[in-house]
Chains A and B, each alone.
Chain A
Amino acid sequence: MHFLSSKKLFIGVTLLLGVIAYVVFHKPLEKIDYSSQVKPILNKNCIACHGGVKQKGGFSVLFREDAMANTKSGKPAIIPGSPETSEFIKRITSKDPEERMPYKHTPLSKEDIQILTQWIKEGAQWGQHWAYTEIKSEKIPDYSSSWIKNEVDQFVYQKLKQEHLSPSDEADKSTLMRRVSLDLTGLPPTQLVAKRFLADDSPKAYENLVDDLLASPSYGERWTSLWLDLARYADTKGYEKDGSRNIWKYRDWLIRAFNADKPYNEFIKEQIAGDLMPNPDDAKYIATSFNRNTMTNDEGGTDDEEFRTAAVMDRTNTTWSALMGTTFNCVQCHSHPYDPFKHDEYYKFLSFFNNSRDEDVDIEYPLLRQYNSTDSLKLNTLVDWIKTNASPEEGKKYYTFLKTWQPTINSLQGDKYINGALLGCTAGLRNLGSFRLKNVVLDQKEQLMLRYNARLNTGNVYIYLDSLKGKLIKTVALKSNQTPFWKLQTIDLPAISGTHNLFFKFHNPAIQSLDETGVRFDWFAFGTKFPGKGKPGYDDAMKSFAELMEAPVETIPVMVENNKDQFRTSHVFVRGNRLVEGAVVTPDVPHILNPMPADAPKNRLGMAMWLTDEKNPLVARTMVNRLWEQLFGYGIAETLEDLGSQGIPPTHRALLDYLSWKFMHDYQWSLKKVLKEIVLSATYRQESKVTDGLLKKDPMNKFFARGPRVRLSAEQIRDQSLAVSNVLSSKMYGKSVMPYQPEGIWRSPYSGDVWKKSQGEDQFRRAVYTYWKRTAPYPSMITFDGGAREVCITRRIRTDTPLQALTTLNDSTYLVMARYFASRINEVGGAEVNQQIAKGYELMMYKPISKARLNALMELYNTSYTKFRNDAKASALMAGQLEKPDKPKAASLVMVASAMLNLDEWLNKN
């Protein structure tokens, strides 16, 4: 814990107790370290008034250049090398309460003052906070002990020695096996795997088990559950309406990526910028759905630009919190109060995200259009034809257009409605109604493709240049409203140069009423004519193109970048208010971190290259810390979401850096390899039993003198209970499923969505496939500390509540599992009930049941049996539908099975 490393507190405590238990090594000759000695004092005492938010008296200690600058008094407060003449020292040592700093707060301790004085004497150098310095290859501490199994242990052992602690023995095989299996695959080991491991006495037995688990397809599902929190994945769009969103293919992409052990740098690069990589295939586009998991607001009357901006900010914040363990969102409104990030740097970084095509439209354009296999072949043929007969660039352009319908201008961009209105995200015009499309770049635009429906059959659309009274540049005769409902129509445009406002006016003399909407526009695409005219096959190619534009497709929201016509300029939002635009900014990364790689473009792809550059100090550390947290219950730095100076400092910084370096270099970003190294360590393999003495010294197991013992996640708890009950479906991938949930959980306004219970084995899929509705998530997930996933969840805080007990006791899902579990142990457990219960325990824990446990459970069985023997109705209700010869016995076994699924040792990894 961080306070243990603070000398000052030790001094305070020891002095106050009057017990000189520690000898504090005071070495005034050793150079003061800024990050570990000075920065904590400044953060605690000074920075609230002299930091990134407030700079009272014109003085700030956040950056050296600010601290050295003239204050309001006209001269600098810190004179490097000269504490005697530094106002800074004068003020913290003053006796005058009006002068003395921190103003109206407890004065600094003598030790703190001494540190600051010596630091100024030594030149007042600012150091970099550890998490922002480049990751270096760490020297492995040299300890020899029979306990040590690999390098991880060397680091842990060193700390244990320093803390006068000793490591624990290795956990017994069954416990360790269950632990590592739940950790790596989210499931208990299968009986086959368990049997093999328990019978294997070779020295490689455990490593073989780990290899098996890492190779299991369940591995990908387990780690995807974690990533879905970070990616704020949900099957709905959020906000008031919270309608469905078809984005589950992204979840499947994750499972495949984890199982294939896609290197983490590629994994991130594709999610941030797959669309900008050369020749992106469907998988690369789907990876970018990572950033389309932001919410879309369909509530009537909402300002789509406001929520587009909210999504862009969310992407910025998520990139920093999920991938870089940094709280960047405070920089939205002002410079970071504690860490060296400046206000405008937020907006520079935000502008990487500010040029994607999505605009909070309800249909969630841009969508990846996935063709069936026949149409995919057709698409390839067409693109090849264009490449051959026009140019490779044209081929690429048409590929993108057919796959994404981009670039197009959404009707959302229309304004100046007369007798018309924006209906949802379509431009609706009534008879003689009109609207404006602003700032359309018409240079080299030969044609316009429109998507619309003429609701009241045909009519004309008149397009005027610059104003309704301007030049009529085109009259479009609309197609009828017969199927397909939405029409695509391409019209030639006269040559016009420059950027213009276009006015669209609708008229249909056959319609008498002025009050009914006659046409709704979806989008507008201005472009050049279909290429390759006169070349052989031109007509067929044109036909293919038209057919592919309207072919049936599956869709998923993805990222697509604006072209230069639609480029958005980014500004600083003054104090975070998007309506008050400050200076124009262009994409860049904060100056304090590694610069962008030389070959990186200043766009999302370049940013992704920067993230995954080995010089980036945060990305590898954040992920390794997170993996550690998943295995041990707490990160090496507890605050996964904040490795900055306000986060809780790491207990084993050298270990974190060692693993992070190895992750990037030796392991080439392989997650499986890092996980393997950690779980093979003696540190991980320790038993989790704890003595009173150790508990007192290290209640939260920060020094790893014992193995991890923490409650399982919501997903693990469900999945393992399904597994032991023998009903877990092994089906992977596909649409999210709706397992049983009580009536009345979904009551969304303005939405006909209903929870439609999935059938057959879909009832019993792993939790990662459960449909996730943001405004009403699956109850047991929430009860066991899942979040709504409205924004990125960087860490689940574990709680222990009676509602959790009620869930595993009474949720019908758990009752059903208990019935299946009871049937199973009845079948395989032998003739006697006590054997059956013992067998059940063995199926759960892979070891024999203790006498006390068996007695307690037998007592429950007997009490139940006494009751059910005389109550046929109650036994039938408890035993359930399954055909059972002896209902009272079956019912009593269900009671026992249910209790077993509620045991502390079952809900925990031990």
Chain B
Amino acid sequence: MRDDNQTRRLIKEAEQAMLQQYTRRHFLKDGAMGFGALALGSLLGNCWGNSGSKKLFDAANPLAARPPMFPGKAKSVIYLHMAGAPSQLELFSYKPELAKLDGLDCPPSLLEGKKFAFIRGVPKMLGPQAVFKQRGESGLWLSDNLPHLATVADDIAMLNAVTTEQFNHAPAQLLMHTGSARLGRPSIGSWVTYGMGTENNNLPGFVVLTSGGNNPDAGKSVWGSGFLPSVYQGVQCRSEGDPVLFIKDPKGMDRDLRKASIDAINKVNQEQYSEYNDPETLSRIAQYEMAYKMQISVPDVMNINDEPQYIHEMYGTQPGKTSFANNVLLARKLVEKGVRFVQLFDWGWDTHGDSAGNAVDIGLINKCRKVDRPITALLLDLKQRGLLDETLVVWGTEFGRTPMQENREGKKMPFKGRDHHAAAFNMWMAGGGIKGGTSYGVTDEIGYNIVSGKTEAYDIQATILNQLGFDHEKLTYESQGRNFRLTDLSGKVIKDILA
């Protein structure tokens, strides 16, 4: 490989070439708006002008770090999505009144005009299948299913009245992550990397980790880039096989040989550049250099073997396995290295009661055991590293579950389960400028409908963007003739939970 100076020079040339292109465009397009905007510092810096932000994208350097619109509290986001929809009534939503209704027929008023995924006819009410206590100074109600989380209750801002319009997994997940229940919109992580680029050139800006045996129901679209350039889609890092696809050199090739090969490729490309003068060639040279660096940095960051024993105990991690706990630890490592957006999906929370594994009093408890400790460890660990303030942690899902017991096809189910419930459920946030120990929104006595503090996916998205320093109404991209944004036509920042 060429020496560092030469590499730097090449990258610099690529940047220069891009800068020239950019300058030219910017100059001509916005020149009339005011010469001041041409001050060099603002060119690649704050380009949130009033002419839309499509020009943010430059194929020559699409992931360059960019400052947000205003100084944000958070630098990065860890978004923990429990795919399948855990029951809020067994975790966060304390409803003693529901216990009294246990086993009774559901009143017709709750069923009128409603449509359920599986409930048919008249189901029975199902009381909470967990014991709740108030925790911490704030007195947040949490069930015994989450004993570890109870210890950090005061770091959490609980959203009690989240609602969605979708009661099927795939569209509801899409709505939560892309702002639309239909396919084709960019995911929130894509929007963030589009807006901010990445701080670590040797790692992707938006990393996705999945556990639970399956990808989320909506597939890769939940981390897709939609109409944004594909460079902004989430990069799925895997804990089995290569952590990033094709990151490993072929067998028989050592690092020296890889270096020799990239060196040869780039020498020829340099020759090609001297003949054709195409700046894209310089960009390719830079990308090959970056690929080489990623080959070291990605496996390195994805390796948890070298973490100290106390960390493994804290998180409950077992190196070499695919687990949610491992992914949570990886998430911490990734944000520590400057990754902007780490998206976790844990599959297997769809507690319909059709099997023991899917029962709210059996399977759900097992699932909780697998996530409670690592999530709590994450908050503590980020805190001890001084990272919690600048890392927004979001715990969420696509919808909630009914206070009625599911009766699929109108029949009694073998185990206690709850059907999909779109009208009211819980999510929480912590760190990244969120006020711990707060609680927002109220649902009725059985957790069926919202009383106040209604929170939609758009509001959560607006809040996440706000914490990063973006006005969700202004982070736009022009596609098909109009400026699109993550929050579509809605969204308001949930001010009540901000520090």
Verify that A and B bind, or say they do not.
Answer: yes
Could you tell me which A residues sit within 8 Å of B by CB distance? 1, 3-4, 8-9, 11-13, 16-17, 106, 109, 238-240, 242, 295, 297, 299-303, 310, 321, 327, 329-330, 337-339, 417, 419-421, 423, 428, 515, 639, 641-642, 644, 646-647, 688-692, 695-696, 699, 709, 711, 742-744, 747-749, 774-777, 779, 782-783, 785, 787-788, 790-791, 797-807, 809-812, 815, 850, 852-853, 856-857, 859-860, 863-864, 867-868, 873-879, 891, 895-896, 898-899, 902-905, 907-908, 910
| Distance from B325 Cβ to chain A, minimum over Cβ atoms (Å) | 19
**A14 CB to closest chain B CB, in angstroms?**
9
A867–B273 Cα distance when bound, in Å, is 30
- B251 & A878 in contact (Cβ 8 Å cutoff): yes
How far, in Å, is A164 (CB) from chain B's closest CB?
A: 16
The answer, among A16, A337, A878, for a CB contact under 8 Å with B32, is A16
Contact among A691, A748, A797 with B230 in the assembled complex (CB-CB below 8 Å): A797
B182 pairs with A805, CB closer than 8 A: no
Q: Contact at A899–B170, with CB atoms within 8 Å? A: no
- Asked if B221 and A800 make an inter-chain contact with CB atoms under 8 angstroms apart, the answer reads no
State whether A775 touches B221 (Cβ < 8 A).
Answer: yes
B480 touches A860 (CB 8 A): no
B residues touching A (Cβ–Cβ < 8 Å)? 20-21, 24-25, 27-29, 31-35, 59-60, 62-63, 115-118, 120, 167-171, 182-184, 204, 210, 213-221, 224, 229-231, 233, 235, 238, 240-242, 244-254, 256-258, 260-265, 267-269, 271-273, 275-281, 283-285, 287-288, 290-291, 294-295, 347, 409-411, 420, 478, 480-482
Residues of A within 8 A of B224 (CB): 788
Cβ contact within 8 Å between B254 and A874:
yes
Closest-by-CB residue of A relative to B347 is A749
> Within the assembled complex, what's the spacing in Å between the Cα atoms of A295 and B204?
31
Known A-B contacts A806-B291, A809-B246; the reply to A4 vs B28 at CB < 8 A is yes
Q: Are B217 and A240 in contact (CB under 8 A)?
A: yes
Contacts A748-B219, A810-B246, A850-B271; is A867 near B256 (CB within 8 Å)?
yes
A239 to B219, CA, bound (A): 8
CB distance from B198 to the nearest CB of A (A): 11
Q: Kindly list the 4 A-B residue pairs having the minimum CB-CB distance in the complex, ordered from nearest.
A: A775-B219, A12-B32, A301-B117, A877-B252
CB distance from A434 to the nearest CB of B (A): 13
Judge whether B120 and A856 touch: CB under 8 Å: no
The 8 Å CB contact of A240, one of B167, B169, B253, B279, is B169
- Among candidates B213, B231, B262, B410, residue contacting A419 with C-beta atoms closer than 8 Å: B410
Q: Given known contacts A239-B218, A744-B241, A904-B272, what 7 new A-B pairs fall within 8 Å (CB)?
A: A301-B117, A310-B182, A339-B481, A646-B482, A776-B219, A899-B268, A905-B269
Could you list 11 A-B pairs, sorted by A, with CB under 8 Å?
A4-B28, A16-B34, A106-B33, A690-B276, A788-B183, A788-B224, A803-B245, A860-B261, A863-B257, A879-B252, A904-B280
Chain A residue contacts of B271, Cβ below 8 A: 850, 852-853, 856
Please, which residues of chain A bring their CB within 8 A of the CB of B295?
A: 806
Select one of A709, A800, A896 contacting B276, CB under 8 A: A709
In the assembled complex, which residues on chain A have CB atoms less than 8 Å from the CB atom of B267? 852, 856, 859
With A327-B482, A775-B221, A860-B264: A515-B32 Cβ-Cβ less than 8 Å: no
Closest to A863 in B: B260
**A799 with B251, Cβ < 8 A, contacts A301-B117, A690-B276, A904-B269 known:** no
- Contact across chains for B480 and A321 when beta carbons are under 8 A apart: yes
Interface centre among A689, A692, A805, A899 (most CB of B within 10 A): A805
The answer to whether A240 and B218 have CB atoms under 8 Å apart is yes
Specify which chain B residues have a CB less than 8 angstroms from the CB of A815 in the assembled complex.
250
- CB pair A805–B287 under 8 Å, yes or no, is yes
Once A and B bind, how many residue pairs between them come within 8 Å at the CB atom? 293
A689: contacting residue among B35, B60, B265, B276, CB under 8 A = B276
Q: Is the CB of A877 within 8 A of B238?
A: no
Q: How far is the CB of A47 from chain B (nearest CB, A)?
A: 11
* Structural contact, B288 and A774, CB atoms closer than 8 A: no
Asked whether, in the complex, the Cβ of A806 is within 8 Å of the Cβ of B482, the reply is no
Report the Cα distance A868→B21, complex, angstroms. Answer: 45
Max count, chain B CB within 10 A of own CB: residue among A742, A810, A908: A810
Kindly state the separation between the CA atoms of A905 and B268 in the bound complex, as whole angstroms.
9
- Asked if A791 and B231 make an inter-chain contact with CB atoms under 8 angstroms apart, the answer reads no
Q: Please indicate the chain B residues that have their CB under 8 angstroms from the CB of A864 in the complex.
A: 257, 260
Complex Cα distance, B225 from A799, in Å, reads 13
Are B221 and A790 in touch, CB under 8 angstroms? yes
> In the complex, A242→B170 CA distance in Å?
11
On whether the beta carbons of B280 and A800 are closer than 8 Å, the reply is: yes
Cα A790 to Cα B280 with chains together (Å): 30
Among the listed A749, A812, A867, which residue makes an inter-chain contact with B257, where contact means beta carbons less than 8 Å apart?
A867
What is the bound-complex CA distance between A879 and B230, given in angstroms?
Answer: 34
Contact across chains for A749 and B217 when beta carbons are under 8 A apart = yes
Shortest beta-carbon distance from B456 to chain A in Å? 16
Residue of B nearest to A813 (CB): B246
Name the B residues within 8 Å of A783 (CB-CB): 230, 245
Q: Are A799 and B20 within 8 A (Cβ)?
A: no
Cβ-closest chain A residue relative to B256: A867
Interface centre among A419, A688, A904 (most CB of B within 10 A): A904
C-alpha spacing A802/B286, complex, angstroms: 8
- Whether A748 touches B265, Cβ cut-off 8 Å, given contacts A791-B184, A804-B287, is no
Distance from A314 Cβ to chain B, minimum over Cβ atoms (Å): 9
Q: B210 contacts which chain A residues (CB < 8 A)?
A: 747
Cα A875 to Cα B253 in complex, Å, equals 9
B244 and A806 form a contact (CB under 8 A): yes
| A1–B28 CB distance below 8 A | yes
Chain B neighbourhood of A639, CB < 8 A: 481
In the bound complex, what is the Cα–Cα distance between A102 and B21 (angstroms)?
32
Report how far A852 CA is from B275 CA in the complex, Å. 12
User: Could you tell me the distance in whole angstroms from the C-beta of A318 to the nearest C-beta in chain B?
Assistant: 12
A798 adjacent to B118 (CB under 8 Å):
no
With both beta carbons as reference points, the residue of chain B lying nearest to A321 in the complex is identified as B480
B215 and A748 form a contact (CB under 8 A)? yes
> A904 to chain B: closest CB distance in Å?
4
Interchain CB contact (< 8 A) of B287 among A743, A802, A908: A802
List of A residues within 8 angstroms of B481 by Cβ: 327, 330, 338-339, 639, 642, 644, 646-647
| Interface residue from B35, B169, B215, B478 paired with A776 (Cβ < 8 Å) | B215
Distance of A41 Cα from B214 Cα, bound (Å): 52
Cα–Cα distance between A597 and B36 once the two chains are bound (Å) = 55
* Residue of A339, A515, A776 touching B220 (CB-CB under 8 A): A776
**CA gap between A372 and B369 in the complex, in Å:** 57
Tell me if B221 and A744 are in contact (CB < 8 A). Answer: no
Taking a contact as CB atoms under 8 Å apart, the answer to whether A744 and B59 are in contact is no
Cα distance A902–B215 in the bound complex, in angstroms: 32
Q: Which residues of chain B have C-beta atoms less than 8 A from A692's C-beta?
A: 277
Q: Are A9 and B213 in contact (CB under 8 A)?
A: no
A420 and B410 alpha carbons, distance in the complex (Å) = 8
A907 to B288, CA, bound (A): 13
Complex: chain A residue closest to B169, CB-CB = A240
Distance in angstroms from A850 CB to nearest chain B CB is 6
Query: Are A860 and B263 neighbours in the complex by a CB distance under 8 Å?
Result: yes
Question: Is there an interface contact between B28 and A3, defined as CB atoms closer than 8 Å?
Answer: yes
Q: Which residues of B lie under 8 Å from residue A868 when comparing CB positions?
A: 252
**A238: chain B residues within 8 A (beta carbon):** 183
In the assembly, what is the distance between CA of A570 and CA of B212, in Å?
Answer: 44
Partner of B117, one of A11, A300, A428, A904: A300
Whether the Cβ atoms of B221 and A875 lie closer than 8 Å is no
Question: Would you call B284 and A800 a contact (CB within 8 A)?
Answer: yes
User: Closest residue to B34 on the A side, CB-wise?
Assistant: A16
B182 touches A239 (CB 8 A): no
Residue numbers in B under 8 Å from A330 (CB-CB): 480-482
Chain B residues, Cβ within 8 Å of A776? 215, 219-220
Say how far A440's CB is from chain B's closest CB, in angstroms.
Answer: 24
Query: Could you tell me if A895 and B261 are in contact, using CB atoms closer than 8 angstroms?
Result: yes
Distance (whole angstroms) from the CB of A456 to the closest CB of chain B: 16
A300 contacts across to B, CB distance below 8 A: 117-118
Q: How far is the CA of A337 from the CA of B250 in the complex (A)?
A: 53
The reply to whether A910 and B28 form a contact with Cβ atoms under 8 Å apart is: no
A242, closest chain B residue (CB)? B219
Bound complex: CA of A237 vs CA of B230, how far in Å?
A: 22
